[in-house]
Structure formats: C-alpha cells, structure tokens
Amino acid sequence: MRLRLGARGSALSLAQAGLVARAMAGRSEVEIVTIRTTGDRLSAAGSPIEWKGDFTKELDAALLDGRIDFAVHSLKDVPSAVPEGLALAAVPMREDPSDVLVAEPRRGFFELPSGARLGTSSPRRRAQLLAARPDLQISEARGNVDTRLRRLREGHWDGIVLARAGLARLDRLAEACDVFAAEVLLPAVGQGALALFARADDGRTREALGAIDHTDSHREALAERSLLATLEAGCHAPVAGRARVVGESMTLEAGVFSPDGSRVLRETFSGAPADAESLGRRAAERLLARGAADLLGRSSP
C-alpha cells in the first residue's frame, strides 16, 4: 500500500514526516509530498501569524482534492474547528510537551539576571513568564527554530523559549539548558503531539494510520482540544492545557492568563480517559465561570 504524506517544507515538519514514514515502514510505503503554506511564507518574512490555519489550510486543500492521502501537523498548530470532510485519523505517541529555555550563556530560568531579555512570540508563554518573573523583558521572537536560535547567538536576547519536542525531533535537545515545570509554564494545547489527518471517507488510509495511533496520546489530544474549543480561544489567546493519562485515570491541568501575567486562572480536573472531551469541556466551563472570558477579551456566556 502506497500513501502520499503531505508536510510543510520546514526542517521540523520534514523531520516529523520522516518519523511518521519510519513508523509506517513494513505496513505502507510512504511518499512525502512537500507543500508550502501561508504560515511558512509569513514566518520566512518575519510576519506575525494571525490564525493557526495559516499552517494547515493548504494541506487541508491538498487532502480534499486528492493530491495527498494524509497530512502531518504539530497538533498545537491545528485550529479547533476541523474542515468538513477531514478527520483526525491518528495521534502517534506524544513527546514530552514541556517548554525549554535556551540561554546564552547557559543558565536556568531562575538564574537569569533581573531585566534579562527573553524572546517568544507566544502570548501563552509571555503571560506565564511574566507571572513567574515580572522583572524580565519579553520581546517578539519569530521565525522557525533555526532562525530563532541563530538570532539568540547573535545577541538579540539573553534566552528564548521553545517546545522541547521540536528540539528533540531536530536532534538539538542538547541546546536546551532548562526544562520548565508545568507549575511555572503550562504547555500549549496539543504541544508535543503530532496530528495525522485524512479524508473522513477514506477508510483505507484511516485503517492504515490506526496502526500507529497511540490511544493515550489521542485521548490527551481530545481533552485539550475540547478545552480550547469550549473556551473559543484563538491562536493569540493566553491559554494552556496539559492532559496526562496514567493507568485508568486522566488529569487535565488548564490555565487562562492575562497578557501581562498579573491574573492567573488554573483548574485541574480528573476523570476516565474515555471521557476525554467531557473533561475538557468541564475544565473550560469552570474557567469561564471564574472569569476567563474577560481574560480572553470576549463577553461572558
């Protein structure tokens, strides 16, 4: 069985596609098809990403018109609303979703001097970093991983914050000098997970991808995406969530933050992994009841 796998042209996306192709070895022959997205063009130009779908819409179109059989995304880049006709077919085993610090010179987050400059373009990271260290200066850091690491070496910042999973998949994890605990920096929804999308009516491809689906990782993804969808939060919202399945129980840590880190709302819910989406909704509803809508800049329900 031969399958065409759509991926973005970035080094990280191609590394992720390679991981998927190797996982499918012996089951299906996978051809990687590179598709340049709006997000890639904006990122290369140093422009802000206004919508998560800028990284996915061209791949969605290629799926729907049959140019590819499935697509790989970083789950955190996937909008909560999936285009009609597509389905989340598989979530392979998730990488550690933690954020990490890369600093010059090497040192830990709480060892950074007062006034140190940290680079990140994520409102989620900015809010939590300022909540933990209001003495820091947080500035925009756009571009792919290579670009941000190069600019760090050039002295634009004293440190940058990246996803541990991305560095691991690029075989650059040794460059990280501190791993953030979730109590300090709760990860983005879906961080560390890959999402494999196929056409909803393509049973042949979905069955093939089922062989590399990791049940616990998939359920964690469903819980976190349900949280995000219920909050109606977009890519610029300071929202975080991390679900973990341990045995027969799932725990979901969720947070919503003011942009300057002065207000922090956190909730932790536990339940059965099979009730993942319900768990996400309950956590979001509790956050909304506590005033999350105000922090997200929209009217209360």
Higher-pLDDT residue of 72, 45: 72
What type of residue sits at position 71?
A
Regarding whether 151 and 82 lie in a shared domain, the answer is: no
| 184 found inside a domain | no
| 188 found inside a domain | no
CA proximity to 38, closest of 77, 86, 87, 89: 77
| 187 found inside a domain | no
Regarding whether 198 and 238 lie in a shared domain, the answer is: no
Regarding whether 124 and 139 lie in a shared domain, the answer is: yes
Regarding whether 207 and 171 lie in a shared domain, the answer is: no
| 186 found inside a domain | no
pLDDT of residue 301: 45
- Which domain CATH number covers 286? 3.30.160.40
- Domain carrying residue 219: 214-296
Regarding whether 62 and 3 lie in a shared domain, the answer is: yes
**Angle (deg, nearest 10), helices 11-24 and 145-153:** 130
Catalytic residues: 77
pLDDT tens profile 212-236: 999 999 999 999 999 999 998 765 6
- CA-to-CA distance for 168 and 191, rounded, in angstroms? 13
Regarding whether 200 and 63 lie in a shared domain, the answer is: yes
Last residue of a domain, one of 155, 179, 203: 179
| 185 found inside a domain | no
- Which domain CATH number covers 28? 3.40.190.10
pLDDT of residue 242: 98
Regarding whether 67 and 22 lie in a shared domain, the answer is: yes
pLDDT tens profile 127-166: 999 999 999 999 999 888 999 999 999 999 999 999 999 9
| 301 found inside a domain | no
- pTM of the full structure: 0.91
Regarding whether 199 and 64 lie in a shared domain, the answer is: yes
pLDDT of residue 79: 87
pLDDT tier for residue 299 given thresholds of 50, 70 and 90:
very low
Regarding whether 88 and 205 lie in a shared domain, the answer is: yes
Regarding whether 282 and 245 lie in a shared domain, the answer is: yes
Total of domains in the chain:
3
Regarding whether 60 and 141 lie in a shared domain, the answer is: no
Residue 165, H or E segment: helix 164-169
**No. of helices (H) and no. of strands (E), the chain:** 10, 13
Tell me 184's DSSP state.
T
Regarding whether 80 and 1 lie in a shared domain, the answer is: yes
